[in-house]
Structure 1
């Protein structure tokens, strides 16, 4: 099939920043794109051929959106899998497949997948409702501390809470959830695996993630991770095992814990381009967004290796500011060599909302990390 300057139609469910960066690639290659998002002001609106507003979880809406497309992909997991299954049955290609999404969408199902496939992960308990946790604690089935995770609809630190006492359970939604053993990890790592529709597989280097202590969001992504080569090898092996088990097509970001004993445990996965791969736009031979498009179209996969050390800094809404966004001191960071800002196009800011990112590339990792710190302290995302 011909994709370039042709009648081929690619659909993307979700119109946020990940979709916007996918569109950098489709515009470069002149591939027709249709995007749907619940928001009329989604970042993708300006860059696709056909933008539609709709509920991504509504089966009829998603089916109508995709029924005349050639291929459908996602930039967010919270979409109607029932609609995707129906579209697949009618001949529309869907990548990642609906079966992969159904496993990943629910964190309890995802954890059971790891157990069934002998993939190392933190011990956990599954609950139909949060209210059942207190009984489990009383009966000795569960002990403090643990990590409470909503089984569905969590993202960017939402739907996750460290629970150290009964007081911490107050105010949590009474939904299906898991209680996961709190791991005293040494590092949080990630590996992005790309698999195309013909079965070719490549992986990006292991990255190291530094999180904001309050928002539970990634502040810095560092590539390559500053870890022992044997630990990196183990992380890649685990990520590839997850990828093979899921049989996904496209990108799979595998988030991992490196324990104090240097064991590797899977935290969770995302079947799409991921925050941990943003550095690749400037630092890699083939960035994650081009790799995803190559993979779902069945094209040869590109080189995932890095040209330079890369560090990504998330730009999030500053605390205490809501409303029309203003990026303060952007001119100052543009004066620094190796610094590239990406602004996502969200017009409204609020505390900890992801509004953009900055990539720092350098031949020297320590210098890149120092520059990243300077960028983080200089730029502020506030309201007008």
Structure 2
């Protein structure tokens, strides 16, 4: 690494496409090294605007904005998949180091291509079929080519539970079918959903964080709680970590890869989908592991030695969601009660507007007794209400 490409050089610039909560927490981690993080986002009201003075205004989906921003960076990374990859390909051709690489990002941001990648590389995943739109899917059901029940997913733009619909009957086709290019995958009989976050640097070093178990909000279809360690056997933990390493090596990615897995009723692990960035399933690592997922992502994309992923203590993370029926300026009720609980760490993202089920922050409860941590996490969820008025 040339000195001018070192993070120790005063002119070194790390760019992040996106300035939401993940960009904010990446900037917070980088500040420990006095490493400036440049973020591309619409304006300073986004969460990262409070964590870095180097937020630049722009749209990460716009070719010109991404190209103009990226050409000034030594290393460029993302906090969200849905960025303009056409500009990233040009930047890569011009010598900008980009992690994750644009060609891999093109695959991952299209769930259809992602599933085909697993099939091609022998990575276990649930059976699936691709459809040009909802009408083609409807015809396949009518003609017997697509059995019920199934999970429909839009190929692009799905995020935080959006773009996913469970179709159990023909009646659901009228009320729950999503429009546009999509895939239909077999509805897996699950024992539980788990996730493993794995990191890889340019030297090929890999490290996994311990598997977490996820519990989903039944209304919003996004993660409500996660528990670490997951309630799985040592053999299942080893298999999940080995599978996560297989996936990141198959992609050849540098950085973090969050690998979401189904553990089915037969004990088989299936890859659901992946995210090539810090992820909701790794937020607890800030408080419960020797290296946070955010520091690990920085280490990986900057080709530094990866940090220890050892767990200091069991933990539970609870997403802090906007209250149903509330849209407007965010107010937090019950903060004092939560802060009085032992082992509770609050992380508020600073989003100015709350919406029903919007992720406004998270809390991590660290306790040597996982069941006690779960109890406190449920208390936090009940005590903290995010509303649109005082």
TM range (shorter): over 0.9
Query: Is 1:319 aligned with 2:324?
Result: yes
The residue aligned with 1:271 is: 276
Moved more, 170-179 or 320-329: 170-179
Cross-structure match for 1:34: 38
Following superposition of structure 1 onto structure 2, how do residues 20-59 of structure 1 map, counting pairs within 5 Å?
Answer: 20-59=24-63
State the shift of 1:99 in Å: 1.7
**Aligned match of 1:218:** 223
The answer to whether residue 145 in structure 2 is matched with residue 141 in structure 1 is yes
CA contact (8 A) 2:43 2:56 kept: no
The answer to whether structure 1 residue 72 and structure 2 residue 76 are counterparts is yes
- 8 Å contact kept, 2:152–2:182: yes
Aligned residues: 384
Aligned to 2:160: 156
Q: Tell me, what secondary structure is at the counterpart of 1:29?
A: coil
* SS state at 1:170 partner: helix
Q: Distance in 2 between matches of 1:5 and 1:247?
A: 28
Match of 2:110 in 1: 106
CA contact (8 A) 1:329 1:379 kept: yes
1:226-241 equivalence runs, <5 A: 226-241=231-246
Decide whether the 8 Å contact of 2:194 with 2:213 is kept in 1. yes
- Normalised TM-score (structure 1): 0.98
**Range moving further from structure 2, 241-250 or 31-40:** 31-40
1:81 aligns with 2:53: no
Give the conservation status (yes or no) of the 8 Å contact 1:257–1:266.
yes
| Structure 1 moving runs of 4+ over 4 Å | none
Q: Which whole-Å CA distance do the structure 1 matches of 2:43 and 2:173 have between them?
A: 32
Name the structure 2 match of 1:307.
Answer: 312
Structure 1 residues 81-137: Cα deviation after superposition (integer angstroms, max 9, x where no partner)? 111111011011001111210110100000000000111101111011111111101
In the alignment, what sits opposite 2:386? 381
Question: How many angstroms does 1:5 deviate by?
Answer: 6.1
Query: Matches of 2:43 and 2:235 in 1, distance apart?
Result: 45
Deviates more, 1:175-184 or 1:158-167: 158-167
Conserved? CA contact 2:27–2:36, under 8 Å: no
Aligned mates of 1:210, 1:98 — CA distance in 2 = 32
User: Post-superposition shift, 1:362?
Assistant: 0.6
Aligned counterparts, 1:186-201, within 5 A: 186-201=191-206
Q: Is the 8 A contact 2:190 2:264 kept in 1?
A: yes
CA shift for structure 1 position 32 = 2.1
Distance in 1 between the 2:383 and 2:231 partners? 25
User: Contact 1:37/1:56 (CA < 8 Å) preserved in 2?
Assistant: yes
How do 1:273-292 and structure 2 match up within 5 A?
273-292=278-297
Aligned-residue offset at 1:372 = 1.1
2:131 is aligned with 1:131 = no
Give the gaps of 5 or more residues in structure 1.
Answer: none
The correspondence of residues 246-261 of structure 1 with structure 2, limited to 5 A, is 246-261=251-266
Select 2:368's aligned residue among 358, 363, 367: 363
Cα distance in structure 2, aligned partners of 1:284 and 1:162: 35
**C-alpha contact (below 8 Å) 2:128/2:185 kept by paired residues:** yes
Calculate the aligned-residue CA RMSD, in Å.
1.2
C-alpha distance after superposition, 1:308-327 (max 9, x if no partner): 00110000111111111111
The answer as to 2:7 corresponding to 1:3 is: yes
